[in-house]
Amino acid sequence: MLHDIYTRPLKDLRISVTDRCNFRCTYCMPFDEYEWIDKKELLTFEEIARLADLFVQLGVDKIRLTGGEPLLRRDLEKLISKLSSLNGLEDLCLTTNGSLLAEKVSALKSAGLTRINVSLA
C-alpha cells in the first residue's frame, strides 16, 4: 500500500505566490511575530510559469494558487494568464479569503481562472 503512494503520478500542485496576508488568522500567520519574505526573494511570474510548465509536462493537471492571500500579489492576473495557457492543465484554482475578490474577480476570470475556493477559516 505504501508503495502505491510513491508510484502514483503527481496530479495536483499548490503554488504559494506570497506569504503576505491581510488577516491575522492562524492559517497564514500562526506566530505572534512574523518575518516577511523579502519581495526580491519571491519567484517571478516567469519563474513560476516555467516551473508549472515542467510539472504539467510531468503529469500535473491541476494547479491551485495560494498564499498568504494570493490576491495581495500585484498583477496576479498576469500569472493566471500564463498558467491558463499551459497545454495539459485542466484546472486552475485560487484559494482566497475573499476580501479583495469583488474588485478582482472579472480580471481573474478574463485571465483564465476557472475556479475559486473561498476559505472562511
> CATH number, domain at 92?
3.20.20.70
pLDDT in tens, 40-98: 889 999 999 999 999 999 999 999 999 889 999 999 999 999 999 999 999 999 999 99
Does residue 3 belong to any structural domain of this protein?
Answer: no
Does residue 64 belong to any structural domain of this protein?
Answer: yes
Does residue 55 belong to any structural domain of this protein?
Answer: yes
pLDDT in tens, 49-62: 999 999 999 999 99
- Are 87 and 117 in contact, with CB atoms under 8 Å apart? no
Domain count across the chain: 1
Long-range contacts of 82-88 (CB under 8 A, 24+ apart): 82/45, 82/46, 82/48, 82/49, 83/48, 83/49, 83/52, 83/112, 84/111, 84/112, 84/113, 84/114, 85/112, 86/49, 86/52, 86/53, 86/56, 87/56, 88/56, 88/57, 88/61
Does residue 65 belong to any structural domain of this protein?
Answer: yes
Q: pTM of the predicted model, to two decimals?
A: 0.86
Does residue 107 belong to any structural domain of this protein?
Answer: yes
Which residue range is the domain that position 95 belongs to? Answer: 8-19+40-118
